[in-house]
Structure 1
Amino acid sequence: MKHTFYKYQGTGNDFVMVDNRDNLFPKNDTKLIGHLCDRKFGIGADGLILLENDNATDFRMVYYNSDGNESTMCGNGGRCLVAFAKQLEIIDDETEFTAIDGRHHAIVAPDGTVSLHMKDVHTVSVYENYVFMDTGSPHHVEIVEDLANFDVKNIGANIRYSGLYGDKGSNVNFVSKAGADKFSVRTYERGVEDETLSCGTGVTAVAIAMKVLGNTDANEVKLETPGGELKVSFKQNDKQFTEVYLTGPAKYVFTGEIEW
């Protein structure tokens, strides 16, 4: 049987979207989800997102990495899902939805840019060569030189699978300064097991880490990823960060049909 899917991308971080309000998608079929995300044999995406009914908010977000396993919060995916909900006419320009890490508020600007309220960050762990925090997903942040030529995939994998983070691992972000209150970021994502063009929870972690380390005095930081520019804003009280917003484009790509 053929089913309709939608493709979205946010600064090159791309997702297969499925309207699962009828609850018919086989959510435990990791092989199917991996197949749909496969770039050679399926549709191709960094992840798959289900939009589902929710009793308390406008909709529920269920996110899977491209390996087929349900995962933690995805910032760019959340922004794209908001744009998808608007396309389906579930929402207008403002929404509240539920994800694995709780409720999220989001606003869609007239130009299609989506601002997503991320979870508060109460703990930022600063080590000699890196910073770690959870922004809805776990993130290792490390400043490097010559980011353009850095071996993100191999070095990121070594850190992700190292003893630092146990069996679950961590996403790994490499950073260099790109200007006043602006940083370049490349991210190795667990579950994708490769570098992605952008990571929303990752750039959120980078912005907060740069603030904690004193590399910026701003409460609004620009992050340049290989897929485009994002913006993170926040309020800070020591190492407590609230009113954290991730802002950037969320683009519809195409609609198609596939059998499952």
Structure 2
Amino acid sequence: MNIKFYKYQGAGNDFVLIDHRQAPLKTIDTKAVAQLCDRRFGIGADGLMFLLDSDKYDFEMVYHNADGNLGSMCGNGGRCIVAFAKYLGIFDTETNFLAVDGPHYAKISAEGNWVELQMIDVDSINIDADAFVLNTGSPHYVKEVTDLETLDVYTEGYNIRNNETYKANGINVNFVERKPDHLFVRTFERGVEDETYACGTGVTAVAMAMAKKQRQIGQVVTPVTVLGGNLEINFRYDGEKFTDVFLCGPAEKVFEGEVSL
């Protein structure tokens, strides 16, 4: 059967989206999702999302990694599905939706291309040698480096993601370099098993780790540059807990079409 799909991207993090409110697919297996996300033999994407009806919220987000498996929370995916839901007429400017890590609030600009997504509160950051480890809806490893432009992110990220500590469950690996007016971040994502152009939960984790490292207390606004563009992370930090966390950035429809499944 032919299924309608939409392609969205947020700072270069790209996704296939399917409106599943009328359940056009009875089942879809891991192999089929992976093929749709394949950049040579499918549509091509960092992940695939289904938008479902929800009894208590405006909609529900179900996210699959590019390898086909169900994934943990995806921040840029969350921003893209918010833009998609607005496009579908599900809400106007503000929404509450359900994701794998719980409910999320979001608001979108009148033009529909700037999304501010509330992320989960975080009250625990662990230390692994010279790196930080925390969960912002997905698990993240954050390491500060110099000369990030030339770093072999694939090799370094792959080795950390697959070391004895993290290989069982996997972890997303973020490298950050502090610039005068922003953070520059590059990320190796589990599930994609490669570097991506952006990672929303990743840049959120990086901003929190750097705030802790620099003892930034109070309202913190962090501009971040990734390979795919610019994002902004806002939160309050009291020295122990991060609250009122927002991941802000662009989310745009690239194209739409039909695919046979």
- The DSSP-based 3-state class of the residue aligned with 1:207 is helix
Letter in 2 for 1:196: T
Structure-1 separation of matches of 2:178 and 2:216: 10
Give percent identity, aligned residues only: 49
Q: Deviations over 1:41-72 (max 9, x none)?
A: 10000000000011110000000000000000
Q: Deviations over 1:78-134 (max 9, x none)?
A: 000000000000111100000000000000012420000000001111343100000
Q: Residues 253 and 187 (structure 1 numbering): CA distance in 2 closer, same or farther, change over 3 Å?
A: same
Gaps of 5+ in 2: none
Paired position in structure 1 for 2:150:
149
Paired position in structure 2 for 1:71:
71
Structure-2 separation of matches of 1:107 and 1:243: 14
Instruction: Give runs of aligned pairs for residues 49-64 of structure 1, distance below 5 A.
Output: 49-64=49-64
The answer (yes or no) to whether the contact 2:216–2:237 under 8 Å persists in 1 is no
Paired position in structure 2 for 1:87:
87
Structure-1 separation of matches of 2:95 and 2:200: 18
Instruction: Give runs of aligned pairs for residues 221-240 of structure 1, distance below 5 A.
Output: 221-240=222-241
- The DSSP-based 3-state class of the residue aligned with 1:191 is coil
Could you tell which deviates more after superposition, 108-117 or 130-139?
A: 108-117
- The DSSP-based 3-state class of the residue aligned with 1:95 is strand
The answer (yes or no) to whether the contact 2:215–2:239 under 8 Å persists in 1 is no
Paired position in structure 2 for 1:198:
198
Q: How many residues align?
A: 259
Instruction: Give runs of aligned pairs for residues 100-249 of structure 1, distance below 5 A.
Output: 100-111=100-111, 112-180=113-181, 182-214=182-214, 219-249=220-250
Structure-1 separation of matches of 2:25 and 2:77: 18
Q: Deviations over 1:9-68 (max 9, x none)?
A: 000000000001122335550000001001001000000000001111000000000000
- The DSSP-based 3-state class of the residue aligned with 1:219 is strand
Q: Residues 216 and 238 (structure 1 numbering): CA distance in 2 closer, same or farther, change over 3 Å?
A: closer
The answer (yes or no) to whether the contact 1:5–1:17 under 8 Å persists in 2 is yes
Structure-1 separation of matches of 2:216 and 2:225: 15
Letter in 2 for 1:159: I
Structure-1 separation of matches of 2:164 and 2:28: 29
Q: Deviations over 1:225-254 (max 9, x none)?
A: 000000000011222101000000001100
1:257 correspondence with 2:258: yes
Structure-2 separation of matches of 1:195 and 1:25: 30
Gaps of 5+ in 1: none
- The DSSP-based 3-state class of the residue aligned with 1:213 is helix
Q: CA RMSD in A?
A: 1.2
Structure-2 separation of matches of 1:193 and 1:150: 17
Letter in 1 for 2:8: Y
Structure-2 separation of matches of 1:139 and 1:123: 12
Structure-2 separation of matches of 1:256 and 1:220: 38
The answer (yes or no) to whether the contact 1:38–1:66 under 8 Å persists in 2 is yes
Q: Deviations over 1:128-177 (max 9, x none)?
A: 31000000000000011110010101110100011122411100000001
Q: TM-score, normalised by structure 1?
A: 0.97
Instruction: Give runs of aligned pairs for residues 8-47 of structure 1, distance below 5 A.
Output: 8-47=8-47
Q: TM-score, normalised by structure 2?
A: 0.96
Structure-2 separation of matches of 1:28 and 1:6: 17
The answer (yes or no) to whether the contact 1:171–1:189 under 8 Å persists in 2 is yes
